[in-house]
């Protein structure tokens, strides 16, 4: 299913993206690229515009101006609906269905059968809980159930909004190595997080604050530019470099 993305250098290209929600301008003309076959982290504090940028990438956000190109097509265009897996911040799975029933429904939407659904459940470590109602799961399990539904159909691009919130450290490490396995297989991942200790696990980072891109590059490059080994500290220094942030 990765046919659209494999030859491209950038899976996502965002140019001068401006988004307003209500009367508030949330993104102030962002331009950035997400390299194909890599894990790119979208880092920034809560309220910085991460989710809005992600929604623009999956094509559910009305944008004021600018363009978002995903796997060579305008974001949200019909062929992309088979190529992009999306996990929203709040686990968007049906609480009144079991994990298996959820996964099988999303598999059916892609024209795929039960074995694919069961494999996705096993991939996120929920095989033992497959028969349980999602509403009875813990928060961390619920977001893994949501992730399983996004893995179905082997999308060329996975867009994950804070997928590791509420996971215990061991599971979090498992999920990150799973993300890198997927990237090694050619999948592009865009993963948002507000936790800086996850930044070091990404191949590339996009740092965003108050709707502006303040850093873009490999973790090592960002560390070097800010002159510190600590990414949290690097982020702080990058913010201080540009104290004037448009309201």
> What residues line the site for another protein (CB under 8 A)?
20-22, 58-62, 76, 81-82, 84, 86, 88, 90, 92-98, 101, 105-106, 108-111, 133, 149
Smallest separation, CB 173 to another protein (Å): 26
Max CA pair span of the chain: 53
Q: Which is nearer to another protein, 19 or 199 (CB)?
A: 19
DSSP H/E element including 214: strand 212-217
What span, in angstroms and rounded, lies between the C-alpha atoms of 213 and 232? 16
In the complex, least distance from residue 174 CB atom to another protein, rounded to whole angstroms = 23
Smallest distance from another protein to CB 17, Å: 14
- Tell me the closest approach of the beta carbon of residue 152 to another protein, in angstroms: 9
Beta strand 188-193 pairing with 39-43: parallel
Measure the CA dihedral 133/135/136/139, to 10°: 120
Task: Report the residue number, 9 or 96, with the smaller CB distance to another protein.
Answer: 96
Cβ nearer to another protein, comparing 83 with 210? 83
In 3D space, the residue among 146, 140, 139, 96 whose CA is nearest the CA of residue 121 turns out to be 146
Closest to another protein by CB, 107 or 231: 107
């Amino acid at each position: 299913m990765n046919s659209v993305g494999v030859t491209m250098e950038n899976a996502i290209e965002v140019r001068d993206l401006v988004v307003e929600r209500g009367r508030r301008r949330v993104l102030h003309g962002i331009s950035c690229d997400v390299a194909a076959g890599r894990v790119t982290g979208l880092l920034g504090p809560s309220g910085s515009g991460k989710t809005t940028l992600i929604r623009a990438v999956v094509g559910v956000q009305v944008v004021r101006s600018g363009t978002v190109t995903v796997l060579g097509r305008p974001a949200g265009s019909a062929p992309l609906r088979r190529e992009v897996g999306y996990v929203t911040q709040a686990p968007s799975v049906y609480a009144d269905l079991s994990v298996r029933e959820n996964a099988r429904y999303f598999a059916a939407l892609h024209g795929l059968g039960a074995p694919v659904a069961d494999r996705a459940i096993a991939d996120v470590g929920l095989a033992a809980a497959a028969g349980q109602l999602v509403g009875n799961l813990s928060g961390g399990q619920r977001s893994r159930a949501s992730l399983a539904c996004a893995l179905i159909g082997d999308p060329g691009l996975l867009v994950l909004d804070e997928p590791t919130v509420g996971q215990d450290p061991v599971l979090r490490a498992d999920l990150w190595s799973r993300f890198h396995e997927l990237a090694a297989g050619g999948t592009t991942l865009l993963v948002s997080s507000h936790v800086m200790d996850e930044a070091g696990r990404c191949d590339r980072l996009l740092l965003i604050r108050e709707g502006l891109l303040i850093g873009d590059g490999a973790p090592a490059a960002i560390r070097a530019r800010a002159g510190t080994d600590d990414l949290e500290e690097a982020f702080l220094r990058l913010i201080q470099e540009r104290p004037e942030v448009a309201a």
